[in-house]
Amino acid sequence: AQSVTQLDSHVSVSEGTPVLLRCNYSSSYSPSLFWYVQHPNKGLQLLLKYTSAATLVKGINGFEAEFKKSETSFHLTKPSAHMSDAAEYFCVYRSGNTGKLIFGQGTTLQVKP
Amino acid sequence: SQTIHQWPATLVQPVGSPLSLECTVEGTSNPNLYWYRQAAGRGLQLLFYSIGIDQISSEVPQNLSASRPQDRQFILSSKKLLLSDSGFYLCAWSDWDGKNIQYFGAGTRLSVL
C-alpha cells in the first residue's frame, strides 16, 4: 500500500539556519509527491511538487526538495529559515490511479529568533 | 483565475444538532471536489470526493454525508453531530481528470460541544 511517513513531528531551528523536514514514501509505482504548508487556522498552500521530471524540485519561498528513489525519500529543505516559515508542513503522496492524496502526519516547524 | 470558498470559517454546534458546510469553486468547470477532515495534531483524512454532479464517493464510514447539487458546489452535512465530529474541515478542488494539483479552501473549524 502507498503511504508517506514524516519522520519528525516537530522541528525547531533558529532564524537564518537551514531547515530540513524529512519525508519517506512507500510505493510500488513512480510516485507523484508534494509538500504543502499550513499556517495556523488556514488552508493548505502548495510549496512544490515532484511528478517524475527533475529530481530536484524548487518551490515557493526558497524551499526545495530532492526526490531520491534509492532512499525512497523526498526531504524538504531551505538554506535559511525565516520567522514566517513557522507552520505545519505536510508531505503528500498522490495515487496515480485515482488522483487521491495521502497525507503524512505533518511536521510542525518552529523558528526561533 | 480559479478560487475556492468555504464557509463558515468557524462553527460551534451542540451535540445532536445538524450540520451544513458549503464549498464553492469559481473559474473552472467540472472540477473534482474533495472534503477532508483534520483532527487536532494529525494529518488530513479524505472523507468524500466527487467527479461530477451527484457523483460522490465516501472514503470512510461516518456520521457525515456529502452532496453536489451543482457543478461547482459541494456540501458536507450531518443530521446529528457527535463530539467526535469536531475538527478542521477542508474543501479542495482539482482539474476534472483528477491528476493535477489539489487546491484547498481556507477551512472550517468545527467544535461540537
Three-class SS state of B97: coil
The DSSP element (H or E) to which B12 belongs, if any, is strand B10-13
For range A84-90, the mean pLDDT: 95
- The answer to whether B37 and B60 are in contact (CB under 8 A) is no
pLDDT tier at B79, thresholds 50, 70, 90: very high
- The answer to whether B109 and B19 are in contact (CB under 8 A) is no
Residue B98 pLDDT greater than 60, yes or no = no
Q: Mean pLDDT highest for which of A19-33, B11-25, B58-72?
A: B11-25
Q: Do A44 and B109 touch (CB under 8 A)?
A: no
As given in the structure block, the three cell numbers for residue B52 are 461530477
Q: How far apart are CA B7 and CA B9, in angstroms?
A: 5
For range A91-102, the mean pLDDT: 78
User: Positive or negative CA dihedral for A18, A8, A66, A95?
Assistant: negative
Least confidently predicted of A79-83, B8-12, B96-100 = B96-100
Q: Pairing between strand B44-52 and B19-26?
A: unpaired
Q: How far apart are CA A62 and CA A77, in angstroms?
A: 9
Residue A91 pLDDT greater than 90, yes or no = yes
Across chain B, mean pLDDT equals 90
pLDDT tier at A1, thresholds 50, 70, 90: low
Q: Do A99 and B109 touch (CB under 8 A)?
A: no
Q: Do B98 and A98 touch (CB under 8 A)?
A: yes
Q: Do A101 and B32 touch (CB under 8 A)?
A: no
Residue of B21, B36, B44 to mutate, testing the A interface (most A Cβ within 10 Å of its Cβ): B44
CB contacts, 8 Å: A41 with chain B: 88, 107, 109
Strand segments (E) across chain A: 3-6, 10-14, 19-21, 23-26, 32-38, 44-50, 56-58, 64-68, 73-78, 87-94, 101-103, 107-112
Question: B89 touching A, CB under 8 A?
Answer: no
The reported pLDDT for the residue numbered B97 is: 65
Q: Higher model confidence: residue B33 or residue B62? A: B33
